[in-house]
Structure 1
Amino acid sequence: MTAVPAEADRYMLGSRSALAWLIDRYQVTTDKSSGITNDPNDWCDEHDDPAHIVELIKRVTTVAVETMRIVDALEQG
């Protein structure tokens, strides 16, 4: 992905940006004790929606940028 606005990293969920949280949650992981692999891409395949994760990142980026625009305007006014 390219052209993600820097403002998107300013929108925080706790101690990290919303995008960082999303990227962390949508990684392929394997549970050490059971060996079960969790692959978010499986959901996309099962629902015939290969662009789901990309579209989710776009939506979260839009919310983050617009929220920061509103917050900045409130702080100035």
Structure 2
Amino acid sequence: MPEEAHNYVLGSRPALDWVLRQYQVTTDKASGIVNDPNDWGRELGQPSYIVDLVKKVTTVSVETMRIVRELPTLTLD
């Protein structure tokens, strides 16, 4: 993953970190119910859904940072 992908921040954290944190397999301590985000992709016949999402967010992050870097410097008169 390009390091630059971590420079695109939404709120207080990088967009890529947000996606990676949201799409983790978790188990509820009280009930023992497992939440596996991969199940949704499998049910729809898209087992690579999360991998594809990470690729898209990485591309958007890198391209957004490239565009921002190319913007002219703002001068206040």
- Which TM bucket (shorter chain)? 0.7 to 0.9
**What is the alpha-carbon distance in structure 1 between the residues aligned to residue 53 and residue 41 of structure 2?**
12
Unaligned residue ranges in structure 2 (runs of 5+): none
Structure of larger gyration radius: 2
TM-score (norm. length: structure 2): 0.86
Q: Tell me how far apart the structure 1 counterparts of residues 25 and 14 of structure 2 sit (CA, whole Å).
A: 20
1:57 aligns with 2:54: yes
**Equivalence for 2:36:** 39
Q: CA deviation at 1:32?
A: 1.4
The structure where helix makes up a greater share of residues is 1
In the other structure, the counterpart of 1:11 is 8
Cα-to-partner distance string for 1:35-68 (whole Å, 9 max, x where unaligned)? 2110011111111111111110110011101110
Per the alignment, residue 23 of structure 2 pairs with: 26
How many residues are aligned here? 74
Q: 2:29 is aligned with what amino acid?
A: K
Gaps of 5+ in 1: none
Q: Which amino acid aligns with 1:53?
A: I
Which AA in structure 2 matches 1:50?
P
Kindly, what percent of the aligned residue pairs are identical? 61
